[in-house]
């Protein structure tokens, strides 16, 4: 059996969005699963809309997602001579012909057909005129007048198209450039693509492409057209639903593994399993379980899945992803033991890396700014004794451990007759500036003895200055 070869052919007229990323993912996973090949091809023949910035943004997004390619990126605009070669073959064998009809003439043909209750289409006027190539000629494919072209779709099942409703469509413009359907077929054929998974908005192109394959006496690839992704209200996916570029999800603090996990579940299933590691997906992905109905994008589900992926990774693995978000907050942080400790305290309660970075501020700041309400309630003359007692006890510790910190808190509780919360909250505010933080002992251990004492002393001084 020949190896599976799939492809992803984005148009570089903008950023890579969720729908395109899902298409790339399906093709990449299937190639990985079958130990085949995944090819990246940039379809940049629309010079007016294609930009180098968009190309780079697409490459960056795929790399961030961890979707690598075995060949490419190829650029369709550089393959014009190959397209022209195949067009000449089609003309030479009689499968295609030159047409000199003007756009106005073709419009008149369509209007005439429409007036007779027929489908508006080109009437084949130049089919048998045996014209030569000229400055204003296009090349058209000679399509069958009868019968059906059946797309044997692995997702939708067999889809039949009446040949009589397809006119002799253009393969080459008068300026010599290839039309989309011809260029795609020639590129797929010459690159050995034998499996094509794409959005069902392309299904309308498939019978035309099949006719080109047949005219070239070439094997037709396996096609699978997956339904579109819809918004939570079942309307076309837009920005308000979450239809942003992949780069935006990176900025929002999502992990690439969480994004690909969520994307693959928008149109594929493996029983009731929702959480997948990257390796899980490579091992379990198949074409048989691609869904036939549209999937709905749900930002809350993506957020919940991201939280699970954050919790499943080690602090060492998360550090590289968190550091850019800390830097965005103008915090100086390194991939070291301290940052790993910070992550360990925050990962269980963080839905995104942005959320984690914001919660980590106090660890990296030299001076703590106190929340006004928190300070008014917990940094008062009444709590100053607790803070002083705590600082004195921590400063005197020979070993700085959770057990030794617990002993100090117990002693303060015994001496003051106060509950744990009455002691912990003033210390929490002194350390972080707010009333919300990781567990008090794990936080103090990560912060270290010196910083802990320094911050408690600073809070005592602040109380004294307010008096």
Which residues are the active-site residues?
Answer: 239
Residue 161 pairs in a beta bridge with 149
Tokens of 377: 């309630």
- The residue to which tokens 């961890």 are assigned: 66
Q: Could you give the CA distance from residue 431 to residue 60 in angstroms, rounded to a whole number?
A: 39
Q: What is the dihedral of CA 117, 122, 125, 127, to 10 degrees?
A: -130
DSSP reduced 3-state for 224: strand
- DSSP assignment of 37-69 equals EEEEEE----TTT--HHHHHHHHHHHHHHT---
Q: Tell me 176's DSSP state.
A: S
- DSSP assignment of 265-330 equals HSSB--TT-----HHHHHHH--STTB-SS-EE--HHHHHHHHHHHHHHS-HHHHHHHHHHHHHHTT
- The residue to which tokens 């900025």 are assigned: 251
Q: Could you give the CA distance from residue 274 to residue 261 in angstroms, rounded to a whole number?
A: 8
CA-nearest of 342, 379, 380, 344 to 362 is: 342
CA-nearest of 239, 283, 286, 278 to 256 is: 278
Q: Which residues contact 24 (CB under 8 A, 6 or more apart)?
A: 8, 10, 16, 62, 65, 67
Half-sphere exposure of 162 (CA within 13 A, CB side): 3
- The residue to which tokens 């399906």 are assigned: 26
């Amino acid at each position: 059996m020949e190896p599976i070869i799939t492809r992803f052919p984005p148009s570089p007229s903008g950023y890579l969005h969720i729908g395109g990323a899902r298409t790339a993912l399906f093709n990449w996973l299937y190639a990985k699963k079958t130990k085949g090949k995944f090819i990246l091809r940039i379809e940049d023949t629309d010079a007016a809309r294609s930009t180098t910035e968009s190309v780079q943004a697409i490459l960056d997004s795929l790399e961030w997602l961890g979707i690598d390619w075995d060949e490419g990126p190829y650029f369709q605009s550089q393959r014009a001579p190959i397209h022209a070669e195949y067009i000449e073959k089609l003309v030479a064998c009689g499968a295609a012909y030159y047409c000199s009809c003007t756009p106005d003439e073709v419009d008149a043909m369509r209007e005439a057909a429409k007036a007779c209750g027929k489908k508006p289409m080109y009437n084949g006027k130049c089919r048998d005129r045996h014209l030569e190539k000229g400055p204003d000629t296009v090349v058209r494919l000679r399509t069958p007048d009868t019968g059906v072209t059946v797309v044997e779709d692995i997702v939708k099942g067999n889809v039949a198209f009446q040949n009589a409703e397809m006119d002799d469509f253009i393969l080459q413009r008068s300026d010599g450039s290839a039309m989309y359907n011809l260029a795609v077929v020639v590129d797929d054929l010459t690159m050995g693509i034998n499996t094509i998974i794409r959005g069902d908005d392309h299904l309308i192109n498939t019978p035309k492409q099949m006719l080109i394959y047949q005219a070239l006496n070439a094997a037709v690839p396996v096609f699978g057209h997956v339904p579109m992704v819809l918004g939570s209200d079942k309307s076309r996916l837009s920005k308000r639903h979450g239809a942003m570029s992949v780069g935006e999800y990176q900025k929002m603090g999502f992990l690439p593994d969480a994004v690909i996990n969520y994307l693959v579940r928008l149109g594929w299933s493996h029983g009731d399993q929702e959480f997948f590691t990257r390796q899980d997906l490579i091992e379990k992905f198949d074409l048989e379980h691609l869904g036939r109905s549209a999937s709905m994008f749900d930002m809350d589900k993506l957020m919940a899945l991201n939280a699970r992926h954050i919790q499943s990774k080690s602090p060492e693995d998360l550090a590289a992803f968190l550091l850019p978000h800390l830097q965005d907050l103008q915090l100086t942080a390194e991939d070291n033991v301290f940052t790993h400790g910070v992550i360990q305290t925050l990962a269980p309660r963080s839905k995104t890396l942005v959320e984690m970075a914001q919660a980590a501020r106090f660890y990296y700041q030299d001076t703590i700014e106190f929340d006004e309400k928190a300070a008014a309630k917990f940094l008062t003359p009444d709590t100053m004794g607790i803070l002083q007692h705590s600082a004195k006890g921590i400063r005197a510790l020979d070993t700085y451990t959770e057990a030794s910190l617990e002993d100090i808190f117990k002693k303060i509780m015994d001496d003051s007759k106060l509950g744990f919360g009455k002691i912990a909250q003033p210390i929490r505010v002194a350390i972080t500036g707010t009333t919300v933080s990781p567990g008090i002992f794990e936080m103090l251990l990560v912060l270290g003895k010196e910083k802990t004492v320094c911050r408690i002393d600073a809070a005592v001084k602040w109380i004294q200055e307010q008096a």
